[in-house]
Amino acid sequence: MYGIKVWLSEDTKDWYLLRDMDDGVVHVWDNKEDVINIQKNLKCKKSAITKIMSNAILDRANYKRKQLEHLKYFLK
């Protein structure tokens, strides 16, 4: 799984993982090509693709994906 590190300043320690503004869940992608397409549209000082290794981050992202899939199923 891949994520995007984002820097808003020149400080190398001042980065964060791209998150959803509503619930704070880190955005993760399965395909690197998808991440590259999203990264092109970002407006920030610097960004980098990173592999997501934390189980907590992956668990929250997968839980959110499942919720959205169930919602789409019931809204058909």
Domain range for 42 is 2-74
The count of structural domains within the chain is 1
Q: Which strands, in side-by-side order, build the sheet including 2-7?
A: 15-17, 2-7, 46-51
Mean pLDDT of 33-57: 92
Tokens 């000082």, residue located: 45
Which spans in the chain are helix H?
32-40, 55-74
What pTM value is reported for the model? Answer: 0.82
Task: Locate 41 and state its tokens.
Answer: 């549209």
Q: How sure is the predictor about 74, in pLDDT bands with cuts at 50, 70 and 90?
A: confident
Burial of 39 (0-12, 13-18, 19+ CB in 10 A): middle
Q: What is the pLDDT of residues 4-26, one digit of tens each?
A: 999 988 898 999 999 999 999 99
Please provide residue 62's backbone torsions phi and psi, each rounded to the nearest 5 degrees.
Answer: -65, -40
pLDDT band at residue 37, thresholds of 50, 70 and 90?
very high
More confident call, 76 vs 52: 52
